[in-house]
Amino acid sequence: MDVIKVKNLTVTYNRKPAIKGINLNIQNGRIIGIIGPNGAGKSTLIKGILGFLPVDTGEVKVFGENVNQVLKKISYIPQKEQFDWDFPINVYDVVVMGRYPYLSLFGHPTQKDKKIVIDALEKVEMLKYKDTQIRNLSGGQQQRIFLARALAQESEIYFMDEPFVGVDAKTEKSIFEIIKELKESGKTILIVHHDLSRIKEYFDEVILINQTLIAYGNTEKVFTKENIEKTYGGQLTILQKANQLL
């Protein structure tokens, strides 16, 4: 099933295009890496698909609909630095936000919503921190909370922007285990990942991007030396690292 169709998507900031002419047909039940150098437009691609940015040209369909009609089915974990971690709010209240799409106007979370939130916190091993202010969490704990909020939303598609940044190895492993479970239950997970290691281990498919789409498809086929060179241009240290990994 095609879950996301992107046709000729271009997004521009102050007349400078950040992504140009992107075409993608994404199917469900896979883990997809969005890979490219800093400033390549990875975050912009996600925000463009989600309809958070004015789109210059192009069309996005999610489950065959305009994205704003299906936002309930989409969880978004922003890049960590885009979130105000000093905001005075506790862990439970952040995760409960995942249930907002289900509440009626001025509605309060029901017992069922509360149970889903507690289960999500348990799943990411953060239940005992439920009353902790988010500013007091470590980087790894912050990512776990983001994941819990996304899980509480019970959506079909998960966009995660660099979920492993600032996270210890143990947290990365347990986050990835949860991501794999999501995939096995037919969900679609798109992950911005800027580290070239683990790509073949983590992703069924990769989107290689540097303003334009360099390549998209099965990781074994697409994550090649030639495509990595095209994506990263002359960034020698990255290319040397890629050589060791291929």
The binder of ligand ADP chosen from 3, 18, 55, 206 (CB under 6 A): 18
Q: Report, in Å, the least distance between residue 68 CB and ligand ADP.
A: 20
> 171, 215, 160: which is closest to 31 by C-alpha?
160
231 binds ligand ADP (CB under 6 A): no
> Which of ligand ADP, Mg ion, none has residue 18 at its interface (CB below 5 to 8 Å by kind)?
ligand ADP
The binder of ligand ADP chosen from 31, 35, 43, 183 (CB under 6 A): 43
Residue pair 120/182 in contact by the 8 Å Cβ criterion: no
Could you list the beta-strand ranges (E) of the chain: 2-13, 16-27, 31-35, 57-62, 74-77, 157-161, 188-192, 205-210, 212-218
The binder of Mg ion chosen from 3, 9, 43, 164 (CB under 5 A): 43
Taking the C-alpha atoms of residue 59 and residue 196, their distance in angstroms, rounded to an integer, is 30
Taking the C-alpha atoms of residue 48 and residue 54, their distance in angstroms, rounded to an integer, is 7
171 binds ligand ADP (CB under 6 A): no
13 binds ligand ADP (CB under 6 A): yes
The binder of ligand ADP chosen from 42, 73, 144, 193 (CB under 6 A): 42
Q: What residues line the site for ligand ADP (CB under 6 A)?
A: 13-14, 18, 36, 38-44
